[in-house]
Structure formats: structure tokens, C-alpha cells
Structure 1
Amino acid sequence: MATPLLALDSVSKKFGEIQAVDGVTLDIREDEVTAVIGPNGAGKTTLFNLITGRYGLTDGHIELRGERIDGLEPQQIVRQGLARSFQITNFFPDLTALENVRLASQAQRTGLTPGALLRHHNDDPEPRDAAREVLKRLDLLDIAREPASSLAHGQQRHLEIGIALACDPDVLVMDEPTAGMSPDETVETRELVESLAEDITIVIVEHDMDVVMRVADRLAVMENGSLLTAGPPETVREDERVQQAYLGGETA
């Protein structure tokens, strides 16, 4: 079997006496959507924070393309090819949609040094052009010059995804992309994920099981900080342990 694009080996995290993540080993395959599901408190968001460098590991290691990324700073991990969209919107509210995405593109290329931030966008048109392509892909080009704070909730969430895409990732980690959305916005976001999955490897935490079952190639089910099972959706959903822990009970 080919080397996984992203590999977690015995990943653990303790906060004092609390074992938030306990020995998770999981391979993320290239060009697939892997959905991480589980009840509240299962450790999903903590796992994402470990993958993206927001938390340091207590034990284990994480590799991207066979190279260890645990211990790197979050921005270093982004520059290695792994970007994240957050459960809550994460942008500069007073800047336009275009400027938010342009800054992310510029940071990926040069870093967000004070000098880079002060440089006029006409001095380096490449990040701006890349940002426009991202917004076009997300069907947000018509609101490119609108302040991010003025956008509808669904547009803000898509903009946040666009900021991650501007970093040109090989792996996109998505934390609750449909949270707080209307049914119509949820459908639009599901279709967006399906479109992005055509050329980006995606790891997603999502509570809407209809979305999960439609977009995921593999499911990874967590319970009490541990990995309960992982596999194709049709196999995982028939697992009695999964039904007891998640699918047959209260949603996370």
C-alpha cells in the first residue's frame, strides 16, 4: 500500500490528568475525504488541534508526506501543505473578502512580516490574482470588495474556507464547515466540499450525518479520546460499537 499522505501514529494528548486523545493511529489517504466523527467530548477537535500544531503532542508523532510535522508551529505546518478552516469564522472583519484571501496567499508565499503587510497590493499582483481565483472557485467573486463582516453567515464560512485554500494546501482540515447554517447553505457547503475533494485531500469533522455520508470516502470514529474504528462509511455504519457510541444515539 502506498505511503499515506498524512499519518498519525499513537497520537496522545493529556491536559493534567485528563487524557483528551489516547493513542490514535490513523492514515489519511491522498485524494480522499476522511470524516472524523464521534460524540461530544470524544476528542475530535483536540485531535485537529494536534494535527495543525495548535497543541503539542504528549506522545506519538504525525507525518505529512513521510516527514514529521509534530513540533512545528502552526504557520510552519501550513507552509508544509496542511491548512485548516475553523469551526468559527476566522478572518479580519473590517477587510474585504478579497483582502482576507490575498493576505493568506501572501503569507504562504512570503510570510506575514510587517513589511509584507504594509506593501501595497499593486507591488505584487500574484497574491491578489490567486485570491481572485479562490473567490471565483467559491462563487464569491461578486462580493470580493465587500467587508467580511457584512457577508451572510454562509458566505463568511465559505470565505474562511477560501482563506485556507489560499495557502494552496495538499491537505485541507475542515472543522464543522456547516455549523450554524440553514438547510440551503448546508447543501451549498456540501457541494463545495465535494467539488474541493476532486483535487484536495480533506479531513473533516462534521455533525450533520447526511453531509458526512454523502462526502466521506472513509469514516474515523472516536470515543473517549480513542479511535473506535475506521473504514468505508457503509462498513462503519453497520458496526454495533459505532451505533452504540454515536450513530444510534445522541449526535455530537
Structure 2
Amino acid sequence: MATPLLALDSVTKEFGSIRAVDEVTLDIPESEVTAVIGPNGAGKTTLFNLITGRYELTDGQIELRGERIDQLEPQDIVQQGLARSFQITNFFPDLTALENVRLAAQAQRTGLTPGALLQHYDDQSETREAARDVLKRLDLLDIAEEQAGSLAHGQQRHLEIGIALACDPDLLVMDEPTAGMSPDETVETRELVEDLAEDITIVIIEHDMDVVMRVADRLAVIENGSLLTVGPPSVVREDERVQQAYLGGETA
């Protein structure tokens, strides 16, 4: 069996007496979309924070391409090819859309050191071109010179995805990309995820079950910090435990 792109082995996180993530073992295959679903408070975002290095593990380990990453800083994990888009927008609102993406591309290539940030404009042509390519892929090129804080909500969420894409990831971790979107914006974002999945492995937390069922190759269901089951959507949705824990009730 092929080595998974990302492998979680008995991943555990405790906050005092609370075990938010409880011995989760999960393989993420390359070139697939894996959706992590579960009720509010199930531990999904905490799991993402462990994968991306924002939290330290209490126990277990995480490997990317067979190499441990759970002891690395978040910026070093990005350098290894794992990028994340957040549940809330995460950009510089006073900078243009293009500059936000360019800074991410620059950080991936040189690191955001003071010297790198003070490069002469002409020396930034490569990263500016890379940023424009990202915006073009996201259909945001027409707002490249607009301040990020002035964009519509859906555009801001797509820009945030663009910032992650500028890091040239092999694995993109997406935390509720359709949160707060209108129905039309949700459809656009679903189509964007489907497009990105053609050449990037994706792990996604998403509450909109219509989006999940359309984009995911596999579902991983989390309940009370533990992995309840994992499998194709058609199989998981018929699991009685899943219906009781999640699908049969209010989506959250």
C-alpha cells in the first residue's frame, strides 16, 4: 500500500483534564479530498491546529511524506509543503489583494525576514508574477489592486485561500471555507475546491453537507475528540453511529 501523504498516529491533545483530541490515527492519501466532519466541539479545529503546528501534541506523532512534522514550527511546516486556510479571514486588510498574496509567495521563497521585506521593487517581480497567477486561478485578478479589507466576504475568503496557495503546497488544509457565505458564494467555493483538488491534496472541515458530499473522496467523522469512522461518503452516510452522532441531527 502506498505511503500516505499525511499520517496521524495516535494523535492526542489535552488541555488540563480535557482530552480534546483522543488518539486519532488517520492516513491522508495523496490526490484526494478528505473531509473531517463532526458536531461542534468534536475536536476538528483542534486537530487542524495540531496538524499545522499551532498546538503541540500531548502524545502521538504526525508525518508528512514519511517525515515527522509535529515537532516543527508552523512556518517550517509550510516550508515542507503543508498550507492552511483559516475559518476566519487571515490577511492584511490595508494591503491590496495582490500584495497579500505576494507576501505569502515571498515568505515561501525567502522567509519574512526584515531584509526580505525590504527588497527593491524590481527584485520582487518573480513573486508578484506568482501572486498574479494565483489571483487569476481564483478569478480575483480584476480586484488585485483593491484593499483586502474592502472586498466582499466571498472574495475575502477566496483571497485567504489564495494566500495559502501562494505557498505552493502539496497539501492544503481548509477550515470551513464556505462559512458565512451566501448560496451563490458557496457554489463558487465548492467549484473552486473541486478545481484545486485536480492537483492538490486537500483536507477540509466543512459544515455544509451538500458541499461535503460533492467534493470529498473520503469522510473522517470525529466525535468527542475520537475518530468514529472513515470511508467513502456513500458508506459513511449509511453508518448508524454517524447518523446518530452527526448526520441524523442538526448539522454543526
TM-score (norm 1): 0.99
Q: Distance in 1 between matches of 2:71 and 2:249?
A: 36
Matches within 5 A, 1:210-229: 210-229=210-229
Residues 56 and 70, structure 1, Cα contact 8 Å, conserved in 2: yes
Hey, which bits of structure 1, 4+ residues long, moved more than 3 A? none
Match of 1:89, as an amino acid?
T
- Residue 71 of structure 2: aligned partner: 71
Cα drift, residue 169 of structure 1: 0.2
- Residue 160 of structure 2: aligned partner: 160
- Residue 249 of structure 1: aligned partner: 249
Match of 1:136, as an amino acid?
K
SS in 2 for 1:139: coil
- Residue 177 of structure 2: aligned partner: 177
- Residue 42 of structure 2: aligned partner: 42
SS in 2 for 1:122: helix
Provide structure 1 residue ranges, at least 5 long, that are not aligned to the other structure. Answer: none
Identity %: 88
Cα drift, residue 89 of structure 1: 0.2
Aligned residues: 252
Cα drift, residue 122 of structure 1: 1.9
Match of 2:201, as an amino acid?
T
Residues 121 and 128, structure 1, Cα contact 8 Å, conserved in 2: no
Cα drift, residue 7 of structure 1: 0.3
Q: Distance in 2 between matches of 1:133 and 1:169?
A: 15
Cα drift, residue 118 of structure 1: 1.8
Residues 37 and 219, structure 1, Cα contact 8 Å, conserved in 2: yes
Q: Distance in 2 between matches of 1:185 and 1:122?
A: 36
- Cα shift readout 1:155-203 (whole Å, capped 9, x = no counterpart): 0000000000000000000000000000000000000000000000000
Cα drift, residue 15 of structure 1: 0.2
- Cα shift readout 1:30-63 (whole Å, capped 9, x = no counterpart): 0000000000110000000000000000000000
Q: Distance in 1 between matches of 2:69 and 2:63?
A: 6
Aligned CA RMSD, in angstroms, stands at: 0.5
TM-score (norm 2): 0.99
Q: Distance in 1 between matches of 2:55 and 2:38?
A: 20
Q: Which moves more between the two structures, 76-85 or 109-118?
A: 109-118
- Residue 151 of structure 2: aligned partner: 151
- Cα shift readout 1:83-121 (whole Å, capped 9, x = no counterpart): 000000000000000000000000000000011112233
Q: Distance in 2 between matches of 1:40 and 1:145?
A: 37
| 1:131 matched to 2:131 | yes
- Cα shift readout 1:126-162 (whole Å, capped 9, x = no counterpart): 1111000000000000000000011000000000000
Provide structure 2 residue ranges, at least 5 long, that are not aligned to the other structure. Answer: none
Match of 1:11, as an amino acid?
V
Q: Distance in 1 between matches of 2:124 and 2:156?
A: 26
Match of 1:183, as an amino acid?
P
Residues 20 and 224, structure 1, Cα contact 8 Å, conserved in 2: yes
Q: Distance in 2 between matches of 1:193 and 1:18?
A: 34
- Residue 207 of structure 2: aligned partner: 207
Q: Distance in 1 between matches of 2:185 and 2:136?
A: 18
- Residue 91 of structure 1: aligned partner: 91
